[in-house]
A and B are shown apart, each in its own frame.
Chain A
Amino acid sequence: MTAPAATVTRGPSRADGTPGPTVTRGPSRAGRTLHAGPLAYGILVVAVLFSAFPFYWTIVAASRSNADLAKVPPTLLPGPNLIRNFEAVLEEADIGKALLNSFIVSGSITLGTVLCCTLAGFAFAKLRFRGRGALLAITVGTMMIPPQLGVIPLFMLIAELGWVNQLQAVILPGLVSAFGVFFMRQYLVQTLPDELIEAARVDGASTARIFWSIVVPIARPGMAVLGLLTFMAAWNDFFWPVVALTSSEPTVQVALRQLGGGYVHDQSVIMAGTLLGTLPVLLVFGLLGRQIVGGIMQGAVKG
Chain B
Amino acid sequence: MFVAFGLFPLLYTAFVSLYRVELQTPGDMEWRGLGNYTALFGDEYFWLSLRNTFTIGVLSTVPQLVMALGLAHLLNYKMRGRTFLRTAVLLPYATSVAAATLVFAQLFGRDFGLINYALGLVGIDPVDWQNGTVASQIAVSTVVIWRWTGYNALIYLAGMQSIPHELYEAAAMDGASRWRQFFHVTLPGLRPTILFTVIVSTIGATQLFGEPLLLEGSISGGISHQYQTLGLYMYEQGWGFFHLGRAAAIAWVMFLLIVVLVGVNALIARRRSRKEAGR
Is B87 touching A138 in the complex (CB atoms < 8 A)? no
Given that A48-B88, A153-B13, A159-B26 are known contacts, is A31 also in contact with B169, CB under 8 Å in the complex?
yes
B45 within 8 A of A: no
Task: Give the CA-CA distance A47 to B90 in the complex, in Å.
Answer: 11
Chain A residues, CB < 8 A from B26: 155-156, 159-160
Task: Give the CA-CA distance A145 to B4 in the complex, in Å.
Answer: 13
**Interchain nearest-CB distance for A4 vs B (Å):** 11
Given that A13-B78, A277-B98 are known contacts, is A48 also in contact with B89, CB under 8 Å in the complex?
yes
B75 within 8 A of A: yes
A217 within 8 A of B: no
Q: List A residues 63-85 near B (Cβ within 8 Å).
A: 69-74
Chain B residues, CB < 8 A from A69: 106, 112
B94 within 8 A of A: yes
Q: List B residues 49-97 near A (Cβ within 8 Å).
A: 70-71, 74-80, 82-83, 85-92, 94-97
Given that A74-B117, A148-B207, A148-B254 are known contacts, is A153 also in contact with B2, CB under 8 Å in the complex?
no
Given that A32-B169, A300-B158 are known contacts, is A152 also in contact with B251, CB under 8 Å in the complex?
yes
B33 within 8 A of A: no
Contact with B along A35-71 (1 / 0, CB 8 A): 1100011011001101110110110010000000111
Is B239 touching A51 in the complex (CB atoms < 8 A)? no
Is A57 touching B114 in the complex (CB atoms < 8 A)? yes
Is B98 touching A260 in the complex (CB atoms < 8 A)? yes
**Interchain nearest-CB distance for B259 vs A (Å):** 8
Task: Give the CA-CA distance A271 to B89 in the complex, in Å.
Answer: 22
Task: Give the CA-CA distance A237 to B82 in the complex, in Å.
Answer: 30
Q: How large is the interface on B (under 10, 10 to 19, 20 to 34, 35 or more residues)?
A: 35 or more
Task: Give the CA-CA distance A289 to B87 in the complex, in Å.
Answer: 6
**Interchain nearest-CB distance for A241 vs B (Å):** 10
Mark the stretch among B131-139, B159-167, B220-228, B268-276 that contacts chain A: B159-167
- Ordered by A's residue number, 11 sampled pairs between the chains whose C-beta atoms are within 8 Å are A2-B83, A31-B169, A36-B78, A57-B114, A239-B210, A256-B214, A278-B96, A289-B87, A290-B83, A293-B86, A300-B155
Residues of B within 8 A of A (CB): 1-3, 5-10, 12-13, 16, 21, 26-27, 70-71, 74-80, 82-83, 85-92, 94-107, 111-112, 114, 117, 146, 150-151, 154-155, 157-159, 161-162, 165, 167-173, 178, 181, 193, 196, 203, 206-207, 209-210, 213-214, 217, 231, 234-235, 238-239, 244, 247-248, 250-252, 254-255, 258, 262
Shortest 7 CB-CB contacts between residues of A and residues of B: A31-B168, A142-B6, A236-B96, A31-B172, A36-B77, A36-B79, A297-B158
Residues of A within 8 A of B (CB): 1-2, 5-6, 8-9, 12-13, 16, 29-36, 40-41, 43-44, 47-48, 50-52, 54-55, 57-58, 61, 69-74, 135, 138-139, 141-142, 144-156, 159-160, 173, 176, 178, 232, 235-239, 242-243, 252-253, 256-257, 259-262, 267, 270-271, 274, 277-278, 281-282, 284-285, 289-290, 292-293, 296-298, 300-301, 303
